[in-house]
Amino acid sequence: MTLANCPIIAAGADTLAHAMLQAHLRDDADLEDEGTLTHLIRGAGLDAEALINAARSANVLASYEANTREAIERSVFGSPTYFVDGDMFYGQDRLEMAERALRQPFAGRWPRV
């Protein structure tokens, strides 16, 4: 999933992350397919060629590797996973719980040992 994840890092764009999650979760889109990815990037109003090239850069790949290490250290087991003040929420069906945690944290810590 490197090709699918790195454009989000390169763009720093929430609109792209939203479009990609929606395409994946709702439409079962193949985010590793460069044509699909190009379509989604353009749909988010971004320059697909420039973003895919940036996604393959050493800096973005290093950031992706660091994010992967952090996810492993925090016991992330799938996507989407959200952290709010140390509380971990997994899956689109947990967004209401994440929203509640923004107002009133559960004060959990991950990984729980």
Dump pLDDT digits (tens) for 5-40.
899 999 987 889 889 989 998 999 999 999 999 999
Whether the predicted model's global pTM rises above the 0.95 cut: no
Q: Mark whether 8 and 42 lie in a shared domain.
A: yes
Q: Mark whether 62 and 81 lie in a shared domain.
A: no
Q: Which residue has 């940036």 as its token pair?
A: 54
Q: Mark whether 86 and 62 lie in a shared domain.
A: no
**Is the distance from CB of 98 to CB of 82 less than 8 angstroms?**
yes
Q: Mark whether 85 and 44 lie in a shared domain.
A: no
User: Into how many domains does the chain fold?
Assistant: 2
Q: Mark whether 69 and 80 lie in a shared domain.
A: no
pLDDT digits (tens, 9 = 90+) for 91-101: 876 788 888 88
**Tokens at residue 51, please?**
């973003």
Q: Report the greatest alpha carbon distance in the chain.
A: 44
**Is the distance from CB of 78 to CB of 92 less than 8 angstroms?**
no
pLDDT digits (tens, 9 = 90+) for 62-91: 999 999 999 999 999 887 888 888 888 888
Q: Mark whether 69 and 96 lie in a shared domain.
A: no
Q: Give the range of the structural domain holding residue 53, as residue numbers without chain letter.
A: 2-73
Q: Mark whether 62 and 93 lie in a shared domain.
A: no
The pLDDT assigned to 90 comes to: 86
Q: Mark whether 59 and 23 lie in a shared domain.
A: yes
